[in-house]
Amino acid sequence: MEIESKFLVMDEADFQVLETSSLLADYSLSEAIVQNIEDTFLDTEKNALMSEGYFLRLRKEMGKEGHWLAIKSLGGLEYGVHTREEYVSFLPEETSVFECPDARTRDIILELSSGLDLLPLLKLKQKRTVRQVKLGERLIAELSLDHVSLKSGQNEKFYSELELKLKTEGTHQDLQIIEEHLLGNYHLVKDLFSKFERALLLKENLPEKTLLSFRERAFCLQLADQENIYGKQAKILLSLEKGLNTAEVSLLLKVPEQDIEAFYSRFEKERLFSFPFSSENNGSGEFHFHAGRYALGKSQENIVFKEWTLETLFELYGADEAKAEKTRTNALILFDGLFPYHRLGQQERKILGLAALLHDIGSSVFPEEIYKIGEEILLTHPLKGLKLHELRMLALTMELQSPKISVKDLSSVFEKSNIMLPPEIKNKALILASFIRISGIFENRSWGFLPDRIRQVEDAVEVKIFGPGAEKAAKKAEKRKELWEYLFGTKLSFISKKKTISKKKTDEIENIEMRVEEIKGENEIKEENKKESRNLKFAIRPENSMAMVAHKVFSRQFTRMLANEKGTLKGKNIENLHDMRVAIRRMKAAAKIFEAYLDSKKLEPHLEGLKSTLGALSDVRDLDVFREKAKEYLNKLPSENEHDLDPLFAVLAEERKKARKSMITYLKSERYANFKKDFSDFLDSESWALPTTTAKHNALPYRVKDVLPSILYARFADISAYSEWLEGPYVSIERLHRLRIASKGLRYTLEFFGNVLGKEAEVMIKEVTALQDHLGDLHDSVIAIDLLGSYLQTGDWGLSERKKYSIEKKTLEGLKGVEAYKAYREEELQTLFDTFPEVWLKVQSEEFRPRIENAIKNLYKETMTL
């Protein structure tokens, strides 16, 4: 985070005095260092970075090799101080910004630009005099005196500026004292703009006071050449900024004046949140994008992940190609027939064709969330030949095609979206989704649109549908048109047109439909058989029954839970709470492992008790883990920074106090006492195991030697199943969390049976534990970053809905220390993502499966010992 005060120096004599002064109030100034600097600012052709609220600067100091690359947020002026996000990295000579050595900076650039080419936007030159500001031994700030030269076309401007940039040891109070001294003794004026913003004002020939902010203007320019409602709203704002009144804008854009007034009134309150594409959470934490794994359309041989074709995706996910082609054909007919309204080009047509072909690709994975899964498949299985922005546009279109997303839901959907794209491309994806919503209804392959039967009739567009049952299709289409009509303000009217089909063709269609129904029935039977085959669980000795092993596992872990209860209540050693929680989690895991061999009706109430107890412990433990991690961070800092997080620790202490009070109340409650007694009685009973034969006395497998081999392979398969989701440019954070849970399943299985599986189990436990721990650290980092971000925004602890900054929150003490810690955790998260493949490959190596086979052989040795 960059914090600085900026002043225009109105008198050259003052500038010269400040160059040579040795003091500023009580603060000393170091010897001056003079630099000649040239800054080049880059953005995409349509200023995608600015539309997201950022700018990118390449700084070249004359006489030195390389550039300093900086990404900064726009604006940020609050209470006279410029407070901005800042990411800085050194860029070697002749190196593209997309090849920046710092992975985090490279990722940010690709996220903001979506891989679109970055072009020079403007340049400036400055002669800078740099001096360090100290109070005793404390480095408070860096003072820069700049002679700035701006040039844009025929326009040229020279001015002098003073910047006072706060350093780590400086405080807001120091900044205020120095500001008051400067304003009281020199002819200075507070500068409201950064150098980039001043250069932009000159380039665009804009006054200092404008209707729109820099980001708002760039955002609207992104949308202004599009023909739907959001394009019109952007044009309204740009026209008003040019000085036109609402009546003139109404005449120019053919929009009722009252609609213009209503929209502008809303914009004054909500600003860019008036559009669904603007949110605080672009590029949310659901997916991790690794820029280093994506080539930018220049050198395809640099791609280190697998690329997919339509054919390989269809084969992998069992998609119906004929049905997909039908959807594509109808989507493109609609696109072409409605071109006078949307005016999109061939690139968008290509993306629409792909999205239509793949519109139900997620159905075989999880039918209830077909569109969300389809999005994830495309992000993790990138199509060959697509550039990054095309890949993201295609994936976003997949999500937006869901008919469950109403117009009122759009802002919420974009807010939660995993995909960062410029507003122009988001808007186009929304338009394409409106076509697929309609064309996706054609499950009956004999339905379709007539290319020459899309026409304007009075105040609507008439679209004819042909084929048997076209009336039904027309009714379905009517229910899917809401989004398109909202975007373009024109009614779509679907009418049916019967097309004569020969009796032979009709019979063929009926036969196909009958076969489809037969296949559905066969698939349903297969699914039922799959459900019935999931009853394999484990034991401790080859001859033991599963129920016996379950009893030992539950008894051992329940005893461990009770043994740590007293220490947890005292709270002197946080490991008591940790061990108590681990014991409960192991019992919950065991319940899943043994569910086929235990009476679930009798076990269920006790599982609820375990769940409640775990919930009562979790908040305190999570706070303990967070604090321990923060202490480890402080221990790495110089001694003068040991109190950087004291204000945060004070908040954590209050939260922990409340959480402990709630935990102790539960652990001393009658409810908890009853749970312990009931569970203890249950463990002592003889009636909790299921029979080992059927009612007809058919024998059921229930001994370790008969069951464990299948369990081990099944648990290993649970882990291996994630491989296809982990090898693309995007990795789902949720998938990694689920992989962690799957790895626990294999680890606990190996640990419970370690004594009968031999030394091979010890090696596997070590490798699976390494994977689980790595994923655990990754998950903790994600949560910590979110918590710290929430604290910095609200001053409160917890993941409650984010609030706007208030004066009280912004003046929180210790803010810089927390920001530094958040940056540290972000770097840690990046490292964990970068090193994850190494840990993952150990579990997926060729040596791992043979270890399972060797471990299983131990089950059949004649001599076994506990």
- pLDDT of res. 532: 32
pLDDT-above-90 percentage for the chain: 47
What band does 524 get if pLDDT is binned at 50, 70 and 90?
A: very low
What band does 369 get if pLDDT is binned at 50, 70 and 90?
A: confident
What is the greatest pairwise CA distance in the chain?
105
Bridge partners, residue 772, by sequence = none
- pLDDT of res. 279: 60
Q: Is the pLDDT of residue 770 over 60?
A: yes
- Which pair of tokens denotes residue 553? 């596992």
- pLDDT of res. 459: 82
What is the arithmetic mean of pLDDT over 559-577?
A: 92
Q: How far apart, in whole angstroms, are the C-alpha atoms of residue 43 and residue 56?
A: 7
CB 522 within 8 A of CB 737: no
- pLDDT of res. 80: 76
What band does 443 get if pLDDT is binned at 50, 70 and 90?
A: low
What is the arithmetic mean of pLDDT over 54-82?
A: 89
What is the arithmetic mean of pLDDT over 150-167?
A: 88
3-state secondary structure 683-738: HHCCCCECCCECCCCCECCCEHHHHHHHHHHHHHHHHHCCHHHCCCCEEEHHHHHH
Burial (CB count <10 Å: 0-12, 13-18, 19+), residue 731: buried
Q: Is the pLDDT of residue 107 over 70?
A: yes
- pLDDT of res. 445: 56
Count the alpha carbons within 13 Å of 529 in the hemisphere toward its beta carbon.
6
- Which pair of tokens denotes residue 793? 């925004």
What is the arithmetic mean of pLDDT over 285-297?
A: 52
Task: Return the axis-axis angle of helices 321-337 and 423-439, rounded to nearest 10°.
Answer: 120
What is the arithmetic mean of pLDDT over 789-801?
A: 74
Look over the chain and give the mean of its residue pLDDT values, rounded to a whole number.
84
464 membership: H or E segment, kind and range: strand 460-466
Q: Is the pLDDT of residue 454 over 80?
A: yes
Q: Is the pLDDT of residue 727 over 80?
A: no
What band does 728 get if pLDDT is binned at 50, 70 and 90?
A: confident
Task: Return the axis-axis angle of helices 388-400 and 346-357, rounded to nearest 10°.
Answer: 50
Q: Is the pLDDT of residue 570 over 50?
A: yes
Q: Is the pLDDT of residue 801 over 70?
A: no
CB 215 within 8 A of CB 50: yes
Burial (CB count <10 Å: 0-12, 13-18, 19+), residue 208: exposed
DSSP for 140-176, written as a single string: EEEEEEEEEEEEETTEEEEEEEEEEEE-TT--HHHHH
Q: How far apart, in whole angstroms, are the C-alpha atoms of residue 747 and residue 763?
A: 11
Residue spans of alpha helices (H) in 564-669: 565-570, 574-594, 600-635, 646-667
- pLDDT of res. 803: 40
What is the arithmetic mean of pLDDT over 253-257?
A: 92
What is the arithmetic mean of pLDDT over 705-720?
A: 90
| CB < 8 Å & 24+ apart, contacts of 37-41 | 37/61, 37/62, 37/125, 37/126, 37/127, 37/128, 38/62, 38/123, 38/124, 38/125, 39/123, 39/124, 39/125, 39/126, 39/195, 39/196, 40/120, 40/123, 41/120, 41/121, 41/122, 41/123, 41/196, 41/199
Q: What's 364's DSSP letter?
A: G
What is the arithmetic mean of pLDDT over 237-251?
A: 94
> 21-30, 207-216, 415-424, 649-658 — which is least confidently predicted?
415-424
Q: How far apart, in whole angstroms, are the C-alpha atoms of residue 788 and residue 115?
A: 29
- pLDDT of res. 419: 83
- pLDDT of res. 288: 66
> 24-33, 125-134, 282-291, 719-728 — which is least confidently predicted?
282-291
What band does 123 get if pLDDT is binned at 50, 70 and 90?
A: very high
Q: Is the pLDDT of residue 501 over 50?
A: no
Tens of pLDDT, residue by residue over 584-616, are 999 998 888 877 778 888 889 999 999 999 999
838 membership: H or E segment, kind and range: helix 815-843
What is the arithmetic mean of pLDDT over 88-93?
A: 92
Q: Is the pLDDT of residue 810 over 60?
A: no
Tens of pLDDT, residue by residue over 392-421, are 999 999 999 999 999 999 988 888 887 889
* 598 vs 487: which has the higher pLDDT: 487
What band does 305 get if pLDDT is binned at 50, 70 and 90?
A: low
Q: Is the pLDDT of residue 540 over 70?
A: no
- pLDDT of res. 583: 93
What values do phi and psi take at 356, rounded to 5?
A: -70, -40
What band does 293 get if pLDDT is binned at 50, 70 and 90?
A: very low
Q: Is the pLDDT of residue 356 over 60?
A: yes
Burial 264-289 (b: 16+ CB within 10 A, else e): beebeeeebebbbbbbeebbbebbbb
Q: How far apart, in whole angstroms, are the C-alpha atoms of residue 749 and residue 210?
A: 66
CB 752 within 8 A of CB 554: no
pLDDT-above-70 percentage for the chain: 88
What band does 357 get if pLDDT is binned at 50, 70 and 90?
A: very high
- pLDDT of res. 483: 94
C-alpha separations of 347 from 387, 389, 393, 428, 432 in Å:
11, 11, 11, 11, 12
Rank 149-158, 638-647, 848-857 by mean pLDDT and report only the highest: 848-857
